[in-house]
Structure 1
Amino acid sequence: MEMNGLMGGIYRAAEWIMRLAALNLLWIGFTLAGLVVGGLFPATQASFALTRQWIRGESDLPLFKTFLTYFKKDYWKVQKIGFILTIVGFVLIVDILFVYNHTNPYITMLSLPLLLLCLLYALTCFYAFSVFVHYELSISQLLKHAILHAVVRPFLSITMLLSLAALSFLMLQFPGVLPFFGVSIPIFILMWFSHFGFIRNEEKQKSQAA
């Protein structure tokens, strides 16, 4: 029986809280089961894929079975993407340390462009998994799409970053929630904004083709 009104709202809110908490625990469990290196990126991809299904209205999926299916799907492909992003991030960190520990004024002039590049990198990482679960693309095409979404929709990207920053601030005030929502809610926010952008792009392409 479907509940309406206040009780219905409370019930649906409780459902979402339990769903997100379970997803967070699955992400932690599968990441640790893969000794982090073998589980981090596939678990993140599975979380994005499952969250995408929820956003699209498929909220009654069996949680563990669906997560496991997505975890195993394209396992090595997502590992390659994670490896590429990790290498790029490592290079950027080395560059930042070099620039900010150098006294040469010509080198320190690179600090602002480098910070902008780091911002683009962070947005690319955010979009990469959303693009991965939404489109069937090669690794090179996927990374290009992630970069394009970060650049072409700056307002959406900035709103995404501000939402994550606000959420991080709130969670740090209540660190007890981190084991239950520290990953699942940020992923939900990233997927929600990304999915909105993807749908807008698809609608625009359809209207142009008509």
Structure 2
Amino acid sequence: MLSGTFSARAYSFFDTLAWIAGLNLLWIVFTLMGGGILGAGPATAAAQILVRKRARGEAAPLVRGFAAGYTRNFGRANILALPVMAVSVALALNWNYFSAGRGLFAQLMAAGIFVAAIFLAGAACYVFPLYARYELPLRQYLLTSSRFAVRHLAGTVILLFVTAAAAYASAALPGLIPFFSIGAWLFLTGWLCDRFFTANDESVAEALAVEPDGRAALQGASTA
């Protein structure tokens, strides 16, 4: 019995590693197909859709599913991704400028920009998992991700830690990037976000209890 359980777990582990490696390769290939800037958003959307399906135990062909998700969401995903990229570039340029200054004002500005960048990174981690799970107007995804990041700080800290760990591992071992780094980050953040959203939905459903005066009260932040 123990041997069978161990074999099943080992098979599941290595199957997941192979799946992550395939996801990593597909993300790079399809991002390059879109010229980098225009390919990253659709590739991320396609990846998170597949991660959500895998998290739910749904069998989906990796290559065909990725290609379909990339094509189907090309325009909408770019509308989501390009503003985030533009703000990220602006924050990076401004931080480089002010961090080089020696005055108090420059250092305060650099610190403020750094805090804003951390907030942006936390909110950005939710955007495409949210997109993969819920049907919302496009303008609502960024707003809802920002609100969720603030109201669920523990989850946001976990996502930032995963992001920092992936970035550190990639910097220390660049050879991981073509094989695992991006795919592992996409898988872990997508899997975690799916759990966070599920817990939030359950909490909201419980909060929709009828009060004594007959009105329903919604407590917490619903992402649906």
TM-score normalised to structure 2 length: 0.85
1:50-89 equivalent positions in 2, closer than 5 A: 50-58=50-58, 60-89=59-88
Structure 1 residues 42 and 145: CA distance shift in structure 2, 3 A = same
2:137 aligns to what? Answer: 138
Out of 107-116 and 179-188, give the one that drifted further.
107-116
Matching residue's letter, 2:208: A
Hey, what's the Cα distance between the residues in 2 that align with 1:98 and 1:71? 36
Query: How far apart, CA to CA, are the structure 2 residues paired with 1:135 and 1:89?
Result: 25
The AA in structure 2 aligned to 1:190 is: T
Aligned match of 1:126? 125
The letter of the residue matching 1:109 is L
Structure 2 counterpart of 1:22: 22
Shift in Å, 1:181 = 0.8
Partner of 1:38: 38
Letter in 2 for 1:202: D
Residues 103-114 of structure 1: matches in 2 within 5 Å? 103-114=102-113
Q: Counterpart in 1 of 2:218?
A: none
Indicate how the Cα distance of structure 1 residues 101 and 168 shifts in structure 2: closer, same or farther if over 3 A, else same: closer
**Cα displacement string for residues 57-105 of structure 1 (whole angstroms, at most 9, x for unaligned residues):** 11x2111111111111231111111111111112212221232233332
The two structures have a TM-score, normalised by structure 1, of 0.90
- Any stretches of 5+ residues in structure 1 without a counterpart? none
The aligned counterpart of 1:165 is 164
Aligned to 2:189: 190
- Change in Cα spacing, 1:118 to 1:200, as seen in structure 2 (3 Å) is same
8 Å CA contact 2:162, 2:189 repeated in 1: no
Q: Distance in 2 between matches of 1:74 and 1:54?
A: 19
| CA-CA distance at 1:50 after TM superposition | 0.4
**Number of aligned residue pairs:** 207
Which one-letter code corresponds to 1:53 in the other structure?
K
Amino acid at match of 1:161: L
Match of 1:92 in 2: 91
Structure 2: segments with no counterpart, 5+ residues: 210-224
User: 1 CA distance for matches of 2:159 and 2:178?
Assistant: 22
What's 1:49 paired with? 49
RMSD: 1.9
Are 2:10 and 1:10 equivalent residues in the alignment? yes
Deviation, 1:156, is 1.1
- Percent identity (aligned): 25
- Which residue is equivalent to 2:147? 148
Matched-pair contact (CA < 8 Å) for 2:125–2:159: no
Contact 2:131–2:141 (Cα < 8 Å) also in 1 = yes
Q: What's 1:101 paired with? A: 100
